[in-house]
Structure 1
Amino acid sequence: MAKILNVHQLKKTYTSGSKNLTVLDNITFSVEAGDTFSIVGPSGSGKTTLLGLCAGLDRPDEGSIELCGTALESLNEDQRAQLRNQKVGFIFQDFQLLPTLTALENVSVPLELQGAKDAAKVGMRLLDQVGLADRFHHYPSQLSGGEQQRVALARAFSNKPAILFADEPTGNLDEETGEKVVQLLFELNQAAGTTLVIVTHDLDLAKRTQHILRLKGGKVLNEKTTIPS
């Protein structure tokens, strides 16, 4: 299988006052196309920072990242944004829906930005897949947390991403609602054949992926292959 994400000797340091804080140190791993992959570790271990670097939202101080066959360090800001629009999907802990847009508009906007003529039709199909076709005209404030995350799921798959990054996708949901969202995430992912990379502190969720990368103190503790139940 081809590697869709290659991370090599990544380092990221932030300056706080007169101190330098190394958040990630010598991180190396790869993800094969079509795999499910989780990054786990305690708070402050560098999980979210790593996800942002892998998606090209930030630049490392050292090391290299190849995403979908492209070296991110060779791209400028606009080129990285274009790569994300075409190849990458995102799911965030806090949903990040646009409050002035309806559920359907939130899902359709990425497609419209790409010039798709059938954006609304595709948006409705995706909302139907996450069980929210009857709520298409509701605004985020009129939806529960679980419903908002399902809209975010539909939006994440709208541009048929090659790779989907999910940052604590159940972090703001109760256990029962979170389980439903995770089930939908894996079902949609399998149907689309997308590569899935999840950042989570939930080991039960991590065990549902094929590979687990453990971080601690900004370093790789270990990496292992799992057999998802």
Structure 2
Amino acid sequence: MASILEISNLAKSYTSGSKTLKVLDDINFSITEKETFSIVGPSGSGKTTLLGLCAGLDKPDSGTVTLNGVELSSLTEDERALLRNKDVGFVFQDFQLLPTLTALENVAVPLELQGAKHAMKKAAELLTKVGLGDRGNHYASQLSGGEQQRVALARAFANDPKILFADEPTGNLDAETGETVVDLLFELNKELGTTLVLVTHDMELAQKTQNILTIKGGRIADLTKASL
């Protein structure tokens, strides 16, 4: 199966005052289509930075990121945004729902950005899939944390992404609610044939994916097949 994401010799540093902090150094791996893949490591190891680079939200100092056959550094910021809107879904720890929109409208946003017909109809279908068919007219402030993350899941899959990046998707949820969200994430991912890249500190969650990349001190410490 073809690679959907290829990372080659990736490095990233940040400068603060006179100090330069190397966050990632010599990162190399690839992910095939429809694979489930997790990135683990201690706090401050560079996991979220790596996820941002993989998704084209930030640019590396050196090395390349090739997403769905496109080398991201060759694109302008606007071109990267278009690529993300077409091919990429996101789930964040803090949900990132738009507070002035209803649940239904939040899910419809990626579809409307694409100019899709019947955006609201598809958004309603996705809300039903995540068990919130009757909550479409509620605003984020009227939903529990678990419900907000389920809306975020529906939104992430709205544009039929080829790859979905999830950054600590259960980080703000209690254990039982987190388990429900994880089950939904993997069910939707399998049903829609999406590639899933998951950043997590939860090894039990990481073990649900096919491959686990461990980062320590900004470098790859291990890349193993999970015991599914």
TM-score in terms of structure 2 length: 0.99
Matched position secondary structure for 1:134: coil
Structure 1 segments unaligned to the other structure (5+ residues): none
3-state SS of the aligned residue for 2:79? helix
Task: Give the 3-state SS of the residue equivalent to 1:133 in structure 2.
Answer: coil
Q: Which residue of 1 aligns with 2:179?
A: 179
Residue 16 of structure 1 and its aligned partner are, at CA, apart by 1.1
Partner of 1:57: 57
- What is the alpha-carbon distance in structure 1 between the residues aligned to residue 209 and residue 184 of structure 2? 14
Distance 2:60 2:210 in 1: 26
Provide the residue aligned with 2:73 in structure 1: 73
2:149 maps to 149
Q: Equivalents in 2 of 1:109, 1:27: separation in Å?
A: 33
Q: Within the alignment, does 1:111 sit opposite 2:111 as a pair?
A: yes
Aligned identity (percent) is 69
Aligned twin of 2:193: 193
The match for 2:221 is: 221
1:44 and 2:40 are equivalent in the alignment:
no
Aligned-partner SS, 1:66: strand
Match of 2:134, SS state, is: helix
Alpha-carbon separation, structure 1, partners of 2:121 and 2:37? 31
Structure 1 distance, partners of 2:78, 2:49, is: 20
Q: What amino acid maps onto 2:109 in structure 1?
A: V
Quote the Cα distance in structure 1 between the aligned partners of 2:93 and 2:226: 24
> Match of 1:196, SS?
strand
TM-superposed CA distance for 1:113, in Å, is: 1.3
Deviation at 1:17, TM superposition (A): 1.2
TM-aligned CA deviation for residue 227 of structure 1: 3.1
Distance 1:199 1:151 in 2: 19
Distance (Å, rounded) in 1 between the aligned partners of 2:79 and 2:116: 20
Q: 1:46: Cα distance to partner?
A: 0.1
The Cα shift of 1:157 comes to: 0.2
Off by >3 Å, runs of 4+ in structure 1: none
TM-score (norm 1): 0.99
Give runs of aligned pairs for residues 157-176 of structure 1, distance below 5 A. 157-176=157-176
Letter in structure 2 aligned against 1:145? G
Unmatched 5+ residue regions in structure 2?
none
Q: For residues 19 and 112 of structure 2, what CA distance do their matches in structure 1 show?
A: 45
- What is the rounded CA distance, in whole Å, between the counterparts of 2:149 and 2:121 in structure 1? 20
When the two structures are aligned, how many residues end up with a matched partner? Answer: 228
